[in-house]
C-alpha cells in the first residue's frame, strides 16, 4: 500500500488540475453561448470554438472519472491490477498513466477490437 503513495499524490495533483481546467472550460462554453451573433462568420467562429471547447471538456471529464476510479482502487487495495486479465499492471505503465485500467497486452487487444 505504501508504494502507491506516490501514485496517489500524482493522481490528486492531476485531479486538481483537471477540475480547474473543467471549471474554466465550462465558463468559456457559457460565455460563447451568451455571445451576440451578428452574422454567419461570427456564428461559424462561435460554433467552432464551442465545439472544440466541448470536446476538450468531454475528454478532460473522462480522464477525471478514470482518476477518481484509480483513487478508489488505491483505497480498496485493487490499484495496479488489470481489469481484463487481473495481472499486475507494469510499473512503467503506471508511472506514465497512473490511472491505467489495463496492462499493455490487454490494452492492445481492446484497441484492436475497437478498430
pLDDT of residue 23: 87
pLDDT of residue 50: 64
**Set of cell numbers at residue 78:** 485493487
19 neighbors 65 (Cβ within 8 angstroms) = no
pLDDT of residue 56: 86
Half-sphere exposure of 39 (CA within 13 A, CB side): 1
Written as tens digits, the pLDDT of the chain (115 aa) is 557 889 999 999 999 999 999 988 777 666 655 666 555 555 555 555 667 777 888 999 999 999 999 999 999 999 999 999 999 999 999 999 999 999 999 999 999 987 5
Amino acid at each position: 500500500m505504501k508504494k502507491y503513495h506516490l501514485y496517489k499524490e500524482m493522481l490528486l495533483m492531476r485531479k486538481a488540475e483537471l477540475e480547474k481546467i473543467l471549471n474554466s472550460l465550462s465558463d468559456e462554453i457559457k460565455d460563447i453561448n451568451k455571445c451576440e451573433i451578428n452574422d454567419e462568420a461570427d456564428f461559424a467562429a462561435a460554433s467552432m470554438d464551442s465545439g472544440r471547447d466541448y470536446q476538450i471538456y468531454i475528454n478532460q471529464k473522462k480522464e477525471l472519472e478514470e482518476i477518481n476510479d484509480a483513487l478508489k482502487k488505491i483505497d480498496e487495495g485493487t490499484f495496479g491490477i488489470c481489469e481484463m486479465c487481473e495481472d499486475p499492471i507494469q510499473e512503467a505503465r503506471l508511472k506514465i498513466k497512473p490511472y491505467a485500467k489495463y496492462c499493455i497486452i490487454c490494452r492492445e487487444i481492446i484497441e484492436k477490437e475497437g478498430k
